[in-house]
Amino acid sequence: MEGRPRTRPGIIGRALSLTLVPIAAILGGLFVAAVIIMLSSLVQGSLDPMLPLEAYANLVEGAFGSVRGITFTLLSATPLILGGMAVGLGFKAGLFNIGAQGQFLMGALGAAAIGASMAGASPFVAIPAAIVAGALFGAAWGFIPGALKAWTGAHEVVTTIMLNFIAGIFIGYLITGPLEAAGFSFSRTGPIGNAALPTFFGTDIHLGVVLAFALVPVVWWLLWRSTLGFEIRTVGANPDAARYAGMHPALLTILTMSLCGLLAGLAGAGQILGISGFMTASYGTSIGFDAISVALLGRAHPVGILLAALLFGAMRAGSGLMQIKAGIPVEIIDVIQATILLFLAADIVVRRLLHIRAPGSEPTELQTVTRTYGSGTPT
């Protein structure tokens, strides 16, 4: 680098410099997890240095080894794409949406409830109605922390987490109570009938997968080609400047959080209408933290989020086979995820180690997130 005049890098060079740190972080995460897997073979008896390779081979085979595996990868990636964008869009506005979990659950609830009530209607009415219901339920659950932040200054990091718990309890109440369908051995919503999403190519790939992929360019357009996106990014980068420029940070906060909730709600609706067909009282999901990981790894950019979601989707899809064949608990995926995040956060260290001259991997808007913590209303 020294002595040579720096030329303006082309698109490939730029993509490379943007992805170097995330790729290094992924490799670092896989390496640390390999060490943990190796150490855990001690529990079963002797140290098995080949166990990590065996586990990863099973992981790849489970995720890509068959049509079923690839389908499962795409299906697992779908909620992560939408959830990741729900978190990433928040980042762009200087908001940390830890509430994707609750918004997802509310979206799933809305889709399950409306889907069940319109099970007999024409699919052309039932499907849009159920999807819209999911999106609106999610948006409502995103609106609450947005409004709380805008009007009272309560930081979204705490309120969204509380709302995640409240969503879980609320769903438990509705599905063991008013929404419970008769005639099943456990508490669940009724069959969705005609509201079930159509599948394609003779596989389980449903309309929700297509919708998630289609929304990636839409969110990109929203952020970088629309006035609203410009305002969102300005508020995220510098709320004071946005205010002086005549924008309304409070309104934008509410709107952005509602949009985040809408995306996460769509993810929930897709899971119900496309895969499970009903909702149970104790519907479990790890979407909340997964979505944060995806958004951070994808640098809060829709395309990056798409790639990160495919990666984590593949890991989720392959982890089952890994647990069966190599005996490694699926929770190792969470460990890989956390280690990747750790390397991303410590990207200065990674860059110094690998002599990478790339921009920092954190979305810069995060500074706004942390600065508003504890005090400060975006009025």
Partner 1 sequence: MDVVYGIPILGVIFQFIGYVIEVTPGIAPIVLGLATPIALGALCGVMNERSGIVNIGIEGMMLSGAFAGFLAAGLWQQAFGGDPLGPFGLTPALLVGVIAAIVTSMALSALHAWLSITVAADQIISGVIINVAALGLTGYLNRLLISPNPRLGAGTFSSFRLPPEVADFPVVGWILEMFVEQGPIAMSVVIFVIVLQVLLFRSRWGLRTRAVGEHPRAADTVGISVIRLRYRNVIIAGIFAGLAGAYLTLEGTSSFQNNMTAGRGFIALAAVIFGRWTPIGAFGAALLFAYSGAFGQAVRIRPPGDEYADLGAIMAAIPSQVYGALPYIVTIVILAGVVGRSIAPAAVGRPYKKEEQT
Query: Is residue 345 within the footprint of partner 1 (CB under 8 A)?
Result: yes
Q: Binding residue for partner 1 (CB under 8 A) from 63, 127, 163, 179?
A: 163
Distance, in Å, from the CA atom of 141 to the CA atom of 345, rounded to the nearest integer, reads 29
CB 55 within 8 A of CB 185: no
Q: What pairs with residue 124 in β-bridges? A: none
The SS3 of residue 338 is helix
Residue 249 and residue 243 in contact, taking contact as beta carbons nearer than 8 Å: yes
Residues 83, 289 contacting (CB under 8 angstroms): no
Nearest CB to partner 1, comparing residues 174 and 266: 174
Closest CA relative to residue 111, chosen from 277, 270, 271, 269: 269
Based on CB atoms, which residue is closest to partner 1, 145 or 265? 145
Question: Residues in contact with partner 1, total (CB under 8 A)?
Answer: 55
Among 36, 38, 132, 210, binds partner 1 (CB under 8 A): 36
Q: Could you give phi then psi for residue 362, rounded to 5 degrees? A: -85, 140
Give the whole-angstrom CA distance, residue 88 versus residue 302. 8
Write out the binding residues for partner 1, residues 114-133 only, by CB under 8 A.
none
Among 153, 191, 320, 359, binds partner 1 (CB under 8 A): 153
Task: List the beta bridge partners of residue 188.
Answer: 280
Q: Cβ of residue 293: shortest distance to partner 1, in angstroms?
A: 7
**237 contributes a contact to partner 1 by CB under 8 A:** no
349 is a site residue for partner 1 (CB under 8 A): yes
Both tokens of residue 178?
């008013």
Binding mask 59-98 for partner 1 (x = CB under 8 A): -------------------------------------x-x
206 to 75, 128, 201, 240, 241: CA distances (angstroms): 8, 14, 9, 44, 44
Q: Which is nearer to partner 1, 30 or 335 (CB)?
A: 335
Sorted by sequence, the CB contacts under 8 Å of residue 271 that are 6+ apart come out as 79, 104, 108, 208, 285
Piece in contact with partner 1 (CB under 8 A), picked from 188-196, 213-221, 243-251, 326-334:
326-334
180 binds partner 1 (CB under 8 A): no
Nearer to partner 1, 97 or 273 (CB): 97
Phi, psi of 170 (to 5 degrees): -60, -45
Give the footprint of partner 1 on this chain (CB under 8 A): 36, 40, 43, 96, 98, 148, 151-155, 157-159, 161-166, 169-170, 172-173, 177, 289, 292-293, 296, 329, 331-335, 337-339, 341-342, 345-349, 362, 366-367, 369-371, 373-375, 377
